[in-house]
Amino acid sequence: MIKTAWRLAALKNGFQDAIAYRIEFLFEILGAAFVPAAIQWVLWYALFRIGGAERVAGMTYGDMVQYTLTSLLFTQIRGGDNDFELAEMVRSGQLSNYLLRPVGVVEFVYIRGVAPKLMLAGICLLLGSGVGLFFGLSPLRMAAGMLLALVGNVIHYQVGAALATTAFLWEESYAVLMVKNLIVSLLSGELIPLNLFPASLQWIWKSTPFYLYVFGPTQVALGRWSCATFAGHLAIACAWMLFGWMLIRVTWGMGIKRYSSIGG
Amino acid sequence: MEKNRTPVIEVRDVRRTFRSPKKGDGWKGALGLLLRPEFQTTEALKGVSFTIEPGAFIGLIGANGAGKTTLLKILSGLIPPTSGEARVLGYEPFRRPMDFRRRIALVMGQKAQLWWDLPAIDAFDLLRAIYEIPPAVYRERLHTLAELLDVERHLRTQIRRLSLGERMKMELIGALIHWPGVVFLDEPTIGLDVLAAHKLREFLRVFNQREKATILLTSHNMDDIERLCSRVLILREGELIYDGTPRGLTRSGECRLKVRLMHVPAIEELARIAGVAQDAVEIRQKEDEDGAGAQFVYFTIQRRQIVPVLQALMSSGQIIEMGIEEQSLESVIQRLYGAEAAGAARPVAPG
């Protein structure tokens, strides 16, 4: 039987934590939204306005701007720094606090950390649906996109949590997580639409789950994926989630055996 | 009705080694660590064995690095022993089954375990959900614990805004709210002022007596040990060198005779003259009343031996100064640590 009481309590706790640091929370949102948007805007302006291009990979300047604005909503959801928190807990010995509680530490940290993202998902969905209606976008598609983004959030954490187990081996596991985040920035579609990749290199992003974080949800929301395509990618996302769950069990099972619980 | 005396904690020949990289000085050391890392192995526990009965309040003492915290980590299931066997409440701790986790608690005085940014009450509420404590029971326990520790007015304050003492009290409430049967406390009074330490000590005493919880406490504060523990385990360099009552450690009727002699012979000669065992004699360099360095001889003997020893010493030399010191637990421990530092171990036989 799945125990919901502690999960709900952890979620509530996560909301309270986010609210305790509301200024930091606000700055995080602004940073996550406007940096990728600014990069994209400069890029599209250079290509279409200065370079004089009319279409790039079949997309007009308007299409690009539409992609940029919509992707902003999903970039907010794509995942936090909970994997960094896990790595730091292993490194500092703080993990000990959680290992003795009758809950799974990886799941507990995720639930506490996802709370502000869920709050954001709700706000973004309302905002996206409202503004989208004005531009003729379906709120149902916006909701489907948000669902995919939330599944992407889980996968993002699973990948990060598995990589965080490198902290059981080396003190400098931060570097591994930083590299992962850089790759995710590129392959999730938050910096550029992934169909800009040359045809011969499309396999790269298709063979990772990262496109499900931003590119996929944006395509769904903008009506560029059919319902069948969406269902197919949702199934792929679920398969990745299952793989991520198994990966965590294996990596944490091995890592915990090496845990030395430093500090006293 | 006969009490259940099955041990709650059983430790058999537990050993634990740690392997860590060894870094040399400066750039060369850093480069060496990168290219050809060398490792050193530390033996934190060397075949420790003991059992603990239910409801006991046990003091675990030893100098820094003696292996106290390592032992607590093994017993609470954070790390496995390298060899040997540990069982707590019938469980192998490192397997950490959920039922085991629900029945133990570990409090580390130097590590915060509650969520720093939340008011204590929110953190306890989360713990209530984690341990599935019925709301009425939770309210009653929280009231009892907060009242005993006198922190009711601080329950709605963010943990990070509390003083060290208040925070430690909240940590204790967080650790005990699920009413564990076995509690491991690692230096809970560290950094606390006299009043806060007293309050905490009193609380632990009441909790142990009222709830019959088994408590294993490590502390450098001998007051904690003397006032709370019915039994003491002493670790030295990973070895258990004493297991018995605090009174047994100070040995009833035993005292320290301090003598300053005109001429100080060797320890063997002093022991022969006084008619005592060599390990009962110690020579220490100390300052005299004028602040000048002087050698003092200490005899750890029974009270009835004082007069014969003094007579023997006076017959063979001139006594300049003498005095008698009571054997406090602190002084015994200091001597044990001192013997370790001097490399002249005088282990007390396990009792």
Query: Which of these, A213, A223, A155, A157, lies nearest to A189 by C-alpha position?
Result: A213
Distances in Å between the Cα of A40 and the Cα atoms of A62, A145, A191, A197 are: 13, 20, 6, 15
Q: How far is A208 from chain B (nearest CA, A)?
A: 32
In chain A, what are the domain boundaries? 5-258
- Residue B158 within any structural domain of the chain: yes
In chain B, residues with a C-beta closer than 8 Å to the C-beta of A102 are 98, 101-102, 130-131
Please state, in angstroms and rounded to a whole number, the distance separating the CA atoms of residues A225 and A141: 10
Instruction: Say whether both B17 and B166 belong to one domain.
Output: yes
The amino acid occupying position B98 is M
Is the full-model pTM beyond 0.95?
Answer: no
B66: CATH = 3.40.50.300
Domain span holding position B307: 252-326
Please state, in angstroms and rounded to a whole number, the distance separating the CA atoms of residues B168 and B110: 9
Per-residue pLDDT, B350: 39
Per-residue pLDDT, B263: 86
Which residue(s) pair with B38 in the sheet?
B22
- Mutate which of B73, B116, B161, B184 to disrupt the A interface (most A C-beta within 10 Å)? B73
Per-residue pLDDT, B284: 82
Quick one: which H or E segment has residue B316? helix B306-316
> Residue B119 carries which DSSP code?
B
Per-residue pLDDT, A216: 95
- Residue B291 within any structural domain of the chain: yes
- Mutate which of A19, A22, A101, A112 to disrupt the B interface (most B C-beta within 10 Å)? A101
- Residue B60 within any structural domain of the chain: yes
Q: How far is B69 from chain A (nearest CA, A)?
A: 6
Q: How far is B105 from chain A (nearest CA, A)?
A: 8
Among B98, B126, B132, beta carbon nearest to A13: B126
Instruction: Say whether both B89 and B146 belong to one domain.
Output: yes
Query: Which of these, A215, A209, A216, lies nearest to A240 by C-alpha position?
Result: A209
Whether residues A259 and B79 touch (CB distance < 8 A) is answered with yes
Instruction: Say whether both B210 and B77 belong to one domain.
Output: yes
Among A6, A97, A261, beta carbon nearest to B113: A97
Instruction: Say whether both B60 and B152 belong to one domain.
Output: yes
Q: How far is A148 from chain B (nearest CA, A)?
A: 29
Per-residue pLDDT, B344: 41
Instruction: Say whether both B170 and B257 belong to one domain.
Output: no
Burial of A257 (0-12, 13-18, 19+ CB in 10 A): exposed
Query: Could you say which residues of chain B have pLDDT below 50?
Result: 1-2, 343-351
Q: How far is B76 from chain A (nearest CA, A)?
A: 8
Instruction: Say whether both B166 and B278 belong to one domain.
Output: no
Contacts with B19 (C-beta within 8 Å, 6 or more apart), sequence order: B39, B40, B41, B42
- Residue B197 within any structural domain of the chain: yes
Interface of B with A (CB under 8 A): 18, 69, 73, 76-80, 96, 98, 101-102, 104-106, 108, 110-111, 113, 115, 117-118, 122-123, 125-126, 128-132, 158, 186
Instruction: Say whether both B260 and B235 belong to one domain.
Output: no
| pLDDT in single tens digits along all 264 residues of chain A | 567 888 999 998 888 877 776 677 777 777 766 777 788 888 888 888 888 888 888 888 888 888 988 888 888 888 778 899 999 999 888 888 889 999 999 999 999 889 888 888 888 888 888 888 888 888 999 999 999 999 999 999 999 999 999 999 887 788 999 999 999 989 999 888 898 888 899 999 999 999 999 999 999 999 999 999 999 999 999 999 999 999 999 999 999 888 877 665
- Residue B221 within any structural domain of the chain: yes
Please state, in angstroms and rounded to a whole number, the distance separating the CA atoms of residues B24 and B171: 39
B285: CATH = 3.30.70.120
Q: Encode pLDDT of B116-154 as tens digits.
A: 778 899 989 999 999 999 999 999 999 988 888 888 999
Whether residues B128 and A9 touch (CB distance < 8 A) is answered with yes
In chain B, residues with a C-beta closer than 8 Å to the C-beta of A13 are 115, 118, 122-123, 126
Distances in Å between the Cα of B144 and the Cα atoms of B169, B203, B208 are: 13, 11, 14
Instruction: Say whether both B23 and B137 belong to one domain.
Output: yes
Instruction: Say whether both B143 and B209 belong to one domain.
Output: yes
Instruction: Say whether both B224 and B293 belong to one domain.
Output: no
Domain boundary among B194, B219, B247: B247
- Residue B141 within any structural domain of the chain: yes
Say how many domains are in chain B: 2
> Kind of pairing, strands B57-61 and B83-88?
unpaired
Query: Which of these, A204, A208, A201, lies nearest to A233 by C-alpha position?
Result: A208
Instruction: Say whether both B212 and B99 belong to one domain.
Output: yes
Instruction: Say whether both B183 and B322 belong to one domain.
Output: no
Residue of A nearest to B123 (CA): A13
Residue of B nearest to A104 (CA): B98
